[in-house]
């Protein structure tokens, strides 16, 4: 019985590793829809997001110990890329949790969709594959529940309104 548990645990670990590898190789991690150019939803892989440019945000968060270095694409750059025509975003996580984010936040604060933290790709286990990050340390006014609630993790979809 003990060996069976070990085998099952090993299979689960292998599945997690393979799932992470598949995501790195081109699995869709984000869909943007709503009021965008062309009207049709646009899917992005991690490679697609990286191709839009990498921005770094060094900040503390309520969910981590110490200062973190996040890397990802500027939300404003992504919105320009899809031709966003709205004022707000509905950000939806893998578990269907959602929050509203004004598009003005993307420009005013340099919000990123992080896919790396401290040099490692974010996995579902550590709030990935995408995590909306505000530069909390750069703008002290962001250190409150309103902006913390907009920092959605395990992001899967953005709907432009």
Q: Is residue 83 part of a domain?
A: yes
Q: Is residue 40 part of a domain?
A: yes
Q: Residue 12 has what pLDDT?
A: 42
pLDDT in tens, 85-118: 999 999 999 999 999 999 999 999 999 999 999 9
Q: Is residue 121 part of a domain?
A: yes
Q: Is residue 64 part of a domain?
A: yes
Q: Is residue 23 part of a domain?
A: no
Q: Is residue 70 part of a domain?
A: yes
Full residue range of the structural domain in which residue 122 is found: 28-160
pLDDT in tens, 64-82: 999 999 999 999 999 999 9
By percentage, how much of the chain surpasses pLDDT 70?
84
Q: How many domains does the chain have?
A: 1
Q: Is residue 7 part of a domain?
A: no
In degrees rounded to 5, what are phi and psi of residue 143? -85, 70
* pTM, to two decimals: 0.84
Q: Out of 14-23, 34-43, 57-66, 75-84, pick the least confident.
A: 14-23
Q: Is residue 100 part of a domain?
A: yes
Domain of 150, CATH number, reads 3.90.420.10
How does the average pLDDT of the chain come out, rounded? Answer: 89
């Amino acid at each position: 019985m003990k060996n069976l548990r070990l085998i099952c645990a090993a299979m689960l670990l292998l599945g997690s590793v393979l799932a992470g590898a598949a995501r790195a190789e081109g699995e869709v991690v984000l869909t943007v829809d709503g009021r965008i150019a062309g009207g049709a939803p646009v899917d992005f892989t991690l490679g697609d997001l990286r191709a839009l440019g990498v921005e770094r945000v060094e900040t503390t968060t309520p969910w981590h110990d110490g200062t973190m270095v996040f890397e990802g694409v500027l939300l404003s750059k992504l919105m320009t890329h899809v031709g966003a025509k709205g004022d707000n975003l509905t950000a939806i996580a893998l578990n269907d949790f959602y929050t509203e984010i004004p598009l003005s936040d993307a420009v005013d604060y340099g919000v990123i969709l992080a896919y790396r933290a401290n040099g490692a790709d974010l996995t579902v286990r550590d709030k990935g594959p995408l995590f909306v990050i505000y530069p909390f340390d750069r703008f002290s006014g962001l250190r409150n529940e309103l902006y913390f609630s907009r920092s959605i993790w395990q992001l899967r979809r953005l709907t432009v309104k």
